Amino acid sequence: MKSIKIQCPAKINLTLEVVNKREDGFHNIKSIMQLISLYDFLDIEISESDKNEILLSGTSNEIPYNEKNLVYKAADLFYKQTQITGFCTKIFITKNIPIAAGLAGGSTDAAGTLFGLNKLYSNPLTQEQLENLCAHLGSDLNVCLNGGCLLATSRGENTKKLPVSCNSVTLIKPKNLGISAKEAYTKYSNKQYKPQNNMTEKMTEALNNGEDIGEFLYNDLEYAVFDDYKELQYIKSKIPDAVMSGSGSTYFVLKNLKDLKFSDDYEIFTDLCFISDGVKVSE
């Protein structure tokens, strides 16, 4: 039996701009994504077995522990790619990243699964092969695999490293509101007016020059869903410079607001910061 513990960080979208809709139904985007110090953890254990099995369990009652889970799909894809057989794989997921929150909780766990299994089996896959599997599974996995601050293009799987600025982060999430990527992108597509702010290019230049990025924070999907949810409007009324991450419903502000007061209907995450790593072995 062999085991490993993997640390899987959340991400926020410092910018997210929708370029166009693709023929495959996804959207091309340009986005600057930043990994932050909020983590899920995976305890992965492999043991020899007469039959190949992937067994999931964890701390959350909001996610499935079967083949519908992206972690299961990642493990299954790893074994198909490597053709390794004769093992039972047990993965325990400690969830700290909220579900359907625009923070890549599912994606980072899937990227962590591929990374962790590759470590356990002494790296049968190259970095390029890991990248390809991540791209196959979803849009944010490559960001979570590589970590730090990244310019993400295409549907999010093409990444380029950018300098990491030193910023504190506070997250605010309505407890009873999750917004799917499908909903957010559909609502954006239905908008007649589509802003062209080019904030991604402006922030890229600011990051490369070591300048403040605050004025360039922006999200097209916030524009798409904001009018439909009083919870989002309430966050913005209390913190005007807060910006939605991904498809929502989490908002972030680049400050450590320890004394922030919201009702019990909201989760507040303080004492977070930008990090330079992606998924990695937990120390």
Mind listing the domains of the chain with CATH numbers? Answer: 1-283 (3.30.230.10)
Q: Whole-angstrom Cα distance, residue 197 to residue 273?
A: 26
105-120 and 127-137 helices, crossing angle to 10°: 150
Instruction: Tell me what percent of the residues of the chain surpass a pLDDT of 70.
Output: 100
Question: Largest Cα–Cα distance in the chain?
Answer: 58
Number of Cβ within 10 Å of residue 238's Cβ equals 14
pLDDT bin (cut points 50, 70, 90) of residue 166 is: confident
Nearest-CA neighbor of 38 among 168, 159, 217?
168
Residue 157: per-residue pLDDT: 78
**DSSP letters for 35-84:** EEEEEEEEEEEEEE-SS-EEEEEES-SSS--STTSHHHHHHHHHHHHHT-
- Report, as an integer, the average pLDDT of 141-150: 96
- Report, as an integer, the average pLDDT of 4-12: 98
Average per-residue pLDDT in the chain? Answer: 94
What's the token pair of residue 255? 């400050």
Any idea what the Cα angle at residue 68 is, between residues 132 and 17, rounded to 5°? 55
- Report, as an integer, the average pLDDT of 126-155: 94
Q: Quick: pLDDT tens for 177-217.
A: 989 888 998 999 888 888 888 999 999 999 999 999 999 99
Q: Whole-angstrom Cα distance, residue 180 to residue 99?
A: 10
Nearest-CA neighbor of 157 among 202, 110, 194, 189?
110
Which amino acid, one-letter code, is at 53? E
Instruction: Tell me what percent of the residues of the chain surpass a pLDDT of 90.
Output: 83
Checking if the pLDDT of 25 tops 70, the result is: no
- Report, as an integer, the average pLDDT of 12-19: 93
What are the catalytic residues?
11, 140
Least confident of 133-142, 186-195, 272-281: 186-195
Checking if the pLDDT of 68 tops 80, the result is: yes
Contact 224, 234 (CB under 8 A): no
Q: What are the CA-CA distances from residue 202 to residues 35, 152, 156, 242, 255 (Å)?
A: 20, 15, 18, 19, 21
Residue 22: per-residue pLDDT: 75
pLDDT bin (cut points 50, 70, 90) of residue 26 is: confident
How many helices (H) and strands (E) would you count in the chain? 8, 12
Q: Would you give the distance in Å from CA 108 to the centre of its chain? A: 6
